[in-house]
Amino acid sequence: MNSLLYKDISLREDVAGCLLCHEAPCRKACPHSVEVDSIILSLRFENKAGAVNKLPDVLPCDMCESKACKDACLKGKINDPVQIDRILKGISCEQKIEEKEVDLSIDFCGVKCENPFFLSSSVVGSNYEMVAKAFDMGWSGVAFKTIGMFVPKEVSPRFTALTKENVPFVGFKNIEQISDYTLEENIEFLKKLKKNYPTKVIVASIMGQNEDEWTTLAKLMTEAGADIIECNFSCPHMTNKGVGSDVGQDPDLVALYTKATRKGTHLPILAKMTPNIGNMEIPAIAAMKAGATGIAAINTIKSIMNLDLETFESEPNVEGKTSVGGYSGKAVKPIALRFIHSMSSCEELKNAEFSGMGGIETWRDSAEFLALGCKNVQITTSVMQYGYRVIEDLINGMKLYLSSQGYHSISEIVGKALPKIVPADELERDSICYPRFNREKCVGCGRCYLSCYDGGHQAIKMDEKSKKPILIANKCVGCQLCVTVCPANAVAPGKRVNKKI
């Protein structure tokens, strides 16, 4: 019974332990040719339906005595191998979902995109070979790594990660600047990409240091075959003053350089916004009034992380020193979505089109950005962790979601969530939704009690006999902190009732 009660929790934990190996030895070792690695990768990227669809009609694990896949698992060299048989059995009872025909293509700023998935302007799209590989694997477009009139001097190292408890990767910091290729080299990359991949979308990200440079760069990118120009007004860690987020925080400079860019091109222009500001609408409006076609958001968030409390040095550690850098990864997604919502809901930006980024790893993350008004999404940190191969589950997961919900095209979900987000004074405040405790699933850990007593309203007590929680209804305010912290999924939202007057 317990295995059924906690199946989803066990599945997540088992899948989280996988190293997601390149050319995974577990798959090579499987005597039944099951796509072990691909199934686990799909589960990791929230594409459970896609994982189930990859299972053979008759799962061989029950009859397999070799356990060759687990013996080959590289995780076993660290501690215990991934419980591959348990993972496959755990999803084998799920119903397969038919992948119906859905249209993932979308028009963005007047440019046809085969799907909404783009590489964002970063190291993941910084030369011909890299982008060509990504295009071959199914990525629709690239915002090429920002091109300038100068080649920056970079430091080593320039990346580090933030961890929490047993989670190896919460967020990511970088102190990397714009492209370290020359202007001439970058122009050749773009020309070759457009020649060999004419249906893919090339977004040329540029950064000038004055009006003339913005105009010149826009002209050169247009001549090189770019489809869209993206103005990088948001890099948080440039060594040169008056560029990057220094521009994005100043609406007058945003307007000035957007106008300068417009002088050099007839192409759509995206203004890439900095999150290192309170109200993103202000510079976004300035950009649109100055000739931009759309807004790209968000760039990375200024950050400091991983102080060593023995040496007091920080990371990335460059000869004992570091600098403020850009924070990215899944942890910034809620912040990115807040900015996207604010701009999508702004009357003065009603004609802007939005390219969303910030913490996107899965098809579900992507769908959230689309539901708040974006027409495409840009991804970097997930690719840096797992490779271009994530595109398979981005596409497959999105198709299965759309078809299962009765949608025929991805355009149908753009902006669907906007009416559901309202000002705080419009929320229902005359009722309470009490928590509901599943005593069969409850393991008696007391986490709900601790959180409620020390961080809530002292509305839970522990039964001395059963060691399980009891709700004190007259103290409960329905905040559902207990639902949030329960590690066994034994507390859920319950009945909503009117408040007693």
- For the chain, which domains are there? 6-90 (1.10.1060.10), 106-420 (3.20.20.70), 431-498 (3.30.70.20)
Residue partners of 144: CB distance under 8 A and separation at least 6: 121, 125, 126, 131, 179, 186, 189, 190, 202, 203, 204, 205
Rounded CA Rg of the chain:
25
How high is the pLDDT of residue 236?
A: 82
- Cα 172 versus chain centre, distance: 12
Q: Whole-angstrom Cα distance, residue 85 to residue 32?
A: 13
Say whether 355 sits in a helix, a strand or coil. Answer: strand
Per residue in 185-229, pLDDT (tens digit) is 999 999 999 999 999 999 999 999 999 999 999 999 999 999 999
- Chain-wide mean pLDDT for the chain? 94
What is the value of pTM for the model shown? 0.95
List the catalytic residue out of 69, 231, 235, 452. Answer: 235
Angle at 310 between CA 309 and CA 313, to 5 degrees: 70
> For the segment 59-92, what is each residue's pLDDT rounded down to a tens digit?
887 767 778 999 999 999 999 999 999 999 999 9
pLDDT above 70: residue 163: yes
Residues 6+ apart with CB under 8 A from 427: none
Residue 295: name the closest of 378, 223, 222, 216 by CA: 378
Q: What percent of the chain has pLDDT over 70?
A: 99
pLDDT digits (tens, 9 = 90+) for 463-491: 999 999 999 999 999 999 999 999 999 99
Q: What angle do CA 231, 174, 370 make, to 5 degrees?
A: 55
Q: Which of 53-57, 345-349, 406-410 has the lowest mean pLDDT?
A: 53-57
User: Looking at residue 58, what is its pLDDT?
Assistant: 86
Give the per-residue pLDDT at 1.
45
Q: What is the pLDDT of residue 239?
A: 77
| Spatial separation of the C-alpha atoms in residues 494 and 489, rounded to whole Å | 13
- Mean pLDDT in residue range 247-271: 97
- Give the residue from 208, 249, 212 showing the smallest Cα distance to 230: 208
pLDDT, average across residues 445-471: 96
Structure confidence by residue, pLDDT tens digits, 423-439? 999 999 999 999 999 99
* Low-confidence winner among 36-45, 163-172, 204-213, 262-271 (lowest mean pLDDT): 163-172
Please list, in sequence order, all residues whose beta carbon lies within 8 angstroms of the beta carbon of residue 226, skipping any fewer than 6 positions away: 190, 194, 202, 203, 204, 267
- Specify the pLDDT at position 3: 65
The H or E element spanning position 368 is: helix 363-371
Ramachandran quadrant class, 110 (left: phi over 0; alpha: psi -120 to 50; beta: rest): left
- Model confidence pLDDT, tens digit, residues 235-248: 888 878 888 888 99
The closest of 56, 66, 80 to 29, measured between CA atoms, is 66
Whether the upstream peptide bond of residue 487 has omega within 30° of 0, thus cis, is no
Structure tokens belonging to residue 443: 């393991």
Pairing of strands 228-232, 201-206: parallel
Peptide bond into 493 cis (omega under 30): no
Nearest to 201 by CA among 143, 126, 259: 143
The pLDDT score that the predictor gives to residue 2 is 59
Is 235 tagged catalytic? yes
Residue 470 preceded by cis peptide, ω within 30: no
Contact 304, 324 (CB under 8 A): yes
Band of residue 272 on the pLDDT scale cut at 50, 70, 90 = very high
Compute the distance between CA of residue 484 and CA of residue 415 in angstroms, rounded to an integer: 27
pLDDT at 59: 83
pLDDT at residue 312 is higher than 80: yes
Range 320-338 average pLDDT: 95
Q: What is the pLDDT of residue 152?
A: 92
pLDDT value of residue 4:
76
DSSP bridge partners of 491: 437
| Partners of 497 in the β-ladder | 432
DSSP assignments along 63-124, one per residue: T----HHHHH-GGGGTSS---HHHHHHHHHTSPP------B--EEETTEEESSSEEE-SSGG
- In this prediction, residue 187 carries a pLDDT of 98
